[in-house]
């Protein structure tokens, strides 16, 4: 495990094997973004500026989608990070689309002048819900005018979705968010979370610096959404105030192997314990 300075160890941990690694930041000033990039530079392969978070609190703080109307500021933030960390350090930007797609085109063209390495496009407007389909034509348009690699984001829940989106848009890569929360083995070709992923997550979480208990339980709950009933999931959350409680709850219902035990992180389906 890496040892981090106290200034960042409370908010950022990783491991030598966690590569390639891009760290995403929400920021609203060039100096803040550049300083944050410099702090994590020794431990990652690049940083990403979040211009896509649609939540109201983010807009009020001037981060996330709050930056979509400030293309000059986005450009300056990328420039500042490049100047502070070196032009070869990877700096990317993740955006959404505007009601008027010409605004998105203008944003992309301006940000490209900063030396940005790639741009990820979430194909929804800030006001759209995740239940509404992604605008693939908009992503295709951005790809057609961009001079840097473009990644597509939104509605990626299987490798079939990846193929469909790439064919429809011509993008250079595809990013998943909710799909990976539900199934972190998505890009390995699994149609649902394999039990092996749950065991590996618990192992890494315990050995590489644990997440806060609420986040740990949340991630396990997302991964096991198709393995648990709603009642079981609620019971797990209600009775897991810390990682020990969570492991105890899981051990009562499933065979949870630890590293070093036979068949650790090998099973696709969970092995339920006979509680009768």
Catalytic residue chosen out of the listed positions 44, 51, 53, 85: 53
CA 171 to chain centroid = 18
Number of DSSP helices (H) and strands (E) in the chain, helices first: 12, 6
Distance (Å, whole) CA 102 – CA 142: 10
Query: Any idea of the CA torsion for 177, 182, 186, 190, to the nearest 10 degrees?
Result: -170
The CB-based long-range contact list for 35-43 (8 Å cut-off, 24+ gap) reads 35/84, 37/81, 37/84, 37/85, 37/89, 37/91, 38/84, 38/85, 39/7, 39/8, 40/8, 40/12, 41/85, 41/89, 43/2, 43/4, 43/12, 43/14
* Residues in Cβ contact with 249 at an 8 Å cutoff, skipping those fewer than 6 apart: 235, 236, 239, 240
Does the annotation mark 44 as catalytic?
no
Which residues are marked as active site?
53
């Amino acid at each position: 495990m890496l040892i981090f300075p106290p200034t960042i160890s409370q908010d950022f941990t990783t491991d030598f094997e966690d590569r390639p690694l891009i760290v995403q930041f929400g920021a609203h000033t060039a100096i803040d973004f550049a300083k944050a990039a410099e702090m994590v530079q020794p431990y990652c392969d690049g940083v990403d500026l979040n211009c896509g978070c649609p939540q109201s609190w983010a807009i009020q703080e001037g981060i996330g989608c709050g930056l979509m109307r400030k293309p000059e500021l986005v450009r300056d933030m990328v420039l500042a990070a490049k100047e502070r960390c070196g032009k070869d350090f990877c700096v990317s930007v993740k955006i959404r689309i505007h009601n008027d797609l010409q605004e998105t085109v203008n944003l992309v063209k301006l940000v490209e002048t900063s030396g940005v390495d790639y741009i990820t496009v979430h194909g929804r407007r800030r006001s759209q819900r995740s239940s509404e389909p992604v605008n693939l034509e908009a992503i295709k348009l951005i790809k057609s005018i961009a001079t840097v690699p473009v990644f597509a984001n939104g509605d990626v829940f299987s490798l079939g979705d990846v193929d469909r989106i790439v064919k429809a848009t011509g993008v250079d890569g595809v990013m998943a968010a909710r799909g990976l929360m539900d199934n972190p083995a998505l890009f390995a070709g699994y149609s649902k979370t394999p039990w092996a992923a749950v065991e590996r997550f618990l192992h890494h979480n315990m050995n590489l610096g644990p997440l806060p208990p609420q986040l740990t339980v949340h991630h396990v709950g997302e991964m096991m959404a198709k393995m648990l009933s709603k009642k079981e999931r609620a019971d797990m959350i209600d009775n897991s105030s810390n990682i020990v409680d969570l492991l105890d709850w899981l051990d009562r219902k499933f065979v949870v192997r630890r590293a070093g035990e036979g068949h650790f992180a090998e099973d696709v389906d969970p092995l339920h314990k006979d509680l009768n």
